[in-house]
Amino acid sequence: MGVGYHLPVPRIRVLPDGLVNRIAAGEVVERPASVVKELVENSLDAEAERIEVEMVRGGCSLIRVTDDGCGMDPDDALLALERHATSKIASVEDLDHIASFGFRGEALPSMAAVSRFQLLTADDPQQGGVRVTVEGGKILGVEGAARARGTTVEVRDLFFNTPARRKFLRTPETELRHAQETVWAAALANPDVSFILRHGPRKLLEALPTSDPGQRLRDIWRRTAGPVHRFEARGGGVEVWGLLAPGSGSGRPSLTLIVNGRPVRDRLLVGAVRRVLGQAGGGLGGARVALFVTVPPDAVDVNVHPAKAEVRFARGGSVFAVTEKALREGVAASRGHVVVERVETSDWVAESEPLRSEYENSHRPPTILFAHPAYDEVGEPGDDPPVAPFAGAHSAAGPGPRPAPPDTPFGRLIGQYRSSFLLLEDEWGLVIVDQHVAHERVLYERIKDRLSAETAPAQRLLVPVLMELDDALVAALGRVEGLLSSVGIEVEPFGPGTLRVTALPPETDAESAREVVEALLERATALDGVPERVVDELAHELAASLSCRAAVKVNDSLSSEEQRALLNDLIATENPYRCPHGRPIVLRLSQDEMERRLGRR
């Protein structure tokens, strides 16, 4: 082939099923945003690293998507315009594990049928690229064209030949908003790909590749004032994490939902989000939520919608419950309050292991089971009026009890329960703080800070602590000496098989130090690998075990000043609702739940 490659003389031909395409276009191509979605997904499937979307008049006049993906050779470029031509699946079995966005082979022919369309693509620039021009489904021209590897698709004058559909287009502003949300979702789901969005002369988005989805979010929600809160939960094979930007005023919350890396819509999840935000009461108007849901690939069917915009979950209950739980935490965190709820659903309970720690099993702290709101309680999204937590929600019982004003960051302190848990009330209900894990979190961060500080507060011991150990452990001292001294533990060799601890940080006693040093030496001898990674891991373990030993225990009675100080310290930590080992720190029993269980509603 080479430079001399000649395509057939340009000719007009009717796509074999041009009419079919026009009909199919009604399903796949609804509005400019759907064109953008399909084109961006094709670029992602082509493993593009940079995707640029340009639009004019909200995409009604022009949509152009340019990528640096794998491109197509001239034969494939023509084939791609045939209906059901796809390079992505070959057999029925492939349908069960679709990894690509596209697979139906309908998008390009559908949009070519209802626009003035151009495909410019090259898979090997040495061989030359090809430009295919189509208008209303008729191929007008096929010609060689120079292009770097990649693909540009242009869709002009959408629905120019289907006036009935054109009538359904809204104003360019509205169409732009939808298209923009589509690009946002794709950009969020693929932070490692660079995205650019232009509307006429304006650049609306420029997002450089990043490994941090939070950064991607900030690139997208540029105008979001205030902090963005991260939240997460898992259970029953479902993992949910998300970001919440509380928003400043009124208006509906907006949700970007990404399931297994695929931006989708789901009425139930939208309902769940609205409901949680609604129950949370004021201050969340116009909140933005991005939800990333991961389920096993066989637990979700992506082929239920022509534009692949909806999915069907095999275990919807789990997804729903875990999402609600995660989001509640996010909302609480966004207000400086904290919530960890135990959500159990019938199909979830058996697998909720990650939420039950050994500690809970052995110590059996009060476990509050939160009933899962019945599936059918969720109406159409938007049907749920925002429910103020207590105000007049239960007519028979009259207005519910009102919370007293908060006097700590977690609400009003009621007191200590069994010398082990702090009880508080906040505007949502009863708050239970596990004093041990709370203190552990506080100390953990304090110790971690020391690791990066210049000097650690160490107290020299009048009588050094001697430790007799295996030679192998003593030999490992060199690997952890620096780490130990950075937290304030000074250790030195002292004769054969013996170490001597000469200084300790203020909150550590000799016995704990002995145990911690020995455990650390054991870990250091067992751990191999990249030194920095090992050091990080050891530092975390060291901080976690020191803080665990030094923290107040259950059955330690605390004065009310001590309780308050602990809560104030806790709220100032990076993550006030998980201890360094991942255990929850705070449980909440909502007023709602309390009243339901007491038969008041």
Task: Tell me if 48 sits within 8 A of 67, measured CB to CB.
Answer: yes
If we measure between CA atoms, which residue out of 280, 550, 601, 589 comes closest to residue 414? 589
Question: Quick one: what does residue 175 bind among ligand ADP, Mg ion, none, with the CB cut-off 5 to 8 Å set by partner type?
Answer: none
Task: Tell me the pairing of strands 238-245 and 288-294.
Answer: antiparallel
Q: How far is the CB of 48 from ligand ADP (least distance, A)?
A: 7
Closer to Mg ion by CB, 302 or 442: give it: 302
Applying CB under 6 A, among 32, 58, 71, 172 the residue interacting with ligand ADP is 71
Closer to ligand ADP by CB, 195 or 577: give it: 195
Give the whole-angstrom CA distance, residue 564 versus residue 223: 36
Give the whole-angstrom CA distance, residue 267 versus residue 311: 10
Give the whole-angstrom CA distance, residue 156 versus residue 34: 14
Give the whole-angstrom CA distance, residue 333 versus residue 237: 24
Q: Position 284: which residue type?
A: L
Applying CB under 6 A, among 80, 307, 326, 491 the residue interacting with ligand ADP is 80
Applying CB under 6 A, among 29, 78, 107, 579 the residue interacting with ligand ADP is 107
Q: How far is the CB of 43 from ligand ADP (least distance, A)?
A: 5
Q: How far is the CB of 11 from ligand ADP (least distance, A)?
A: 21
Question: Quick one: what does residue 46 bind among Mg ion, ligand ADP, none, with the CB cut-off 5 to 8 Å set by partner type?
Answer: ligand ADP
Reported as half-sphere exposure (CB side, CA atoms, 13 A), residue 221 has a value of 25
Task: Tell me the pairing of strands 129-135 and 138-145.
Answer: antiparallel
Task: Tell me the pairing of strands 194-199 and 50-56.
Answer: parallel
Closer to Mg ion by CB, 38 or 445: give it: 38
| 569 to 588: interface string for ligand ADP, x by CB under 6 A | --------------------
Applying CB under 6 A, among 31, 34, 63, 103 the residue interacting with ligand ADP is 103
Closer to ligand ADP by CB, 151 or 545: give it: 151
The reply on whether position 15 binds ligand ADP by CB under 6 A is no
Two tokens, residue 385: 């009026």
Two tokens, residue 266: 């789901």
Question: Quick one: what does residue 182 bind among ligand ADP, Mg ion, none, with the CB cut-off 5 to 8 Å set by partner type?
Answer: none
* CB neighbour class for 20 (10 Å; exposed up to 12, middle 13-18, buried from 19): middle
The reply on whether position 122 binds ligand ADP by CB under 6 A is no
The reply on whether position 104 binds ligand ADP by CB under 6 A is yes
What's phi and psi for 320, nearest 5 deg? -65, -50
Give the whole-angstrom CA distance, residue 197 versus residue 178: 13
Q: CA triplet 553, 590, 592: central angle to 5 degrees? A: 160
The reply on whether position 246 binds ligand ADP by CB under 6 A is no
Q: Is 521 helix (H, G, I), strand (E, B) or coil?
A: helix
List residues near Mg ion by CB under 5 A: 42, 102, 107
Give the whole-angstrom CA distance, residue 85 versus residue 106: 7
The reply on whether position 67 binds ligand ADP by CB under 6 A is yes
Q: How far is the CB of 445 from ligand ADP (least distance, A)?
A: 47
Q: How far is the CB of 318 from Mg ion (least distance, A)?
A: 30
The reply on whether position 105 binds ligand ADP by CB under 6 A is yes
Q: How far is the CB of 106 from ligand ADP (least distance, A)?
A: 6
Closer to Mg ion by CB, 102 or 580: give it: 102
Local structure of residue 378 (DSSP, 8 states): -
When CB distances to ligand ADP are compared, the closest residue is: 102
Site for ligand ADP in 288-317 (CB under 6 A): none
Instruction: Name residue, tokens 């709602």.
Output: 592
Interface with ligand ADP (CB under 6 A): 38, 42-43, 46, 67, 69-72, 80, 85-88, 102-108, 151
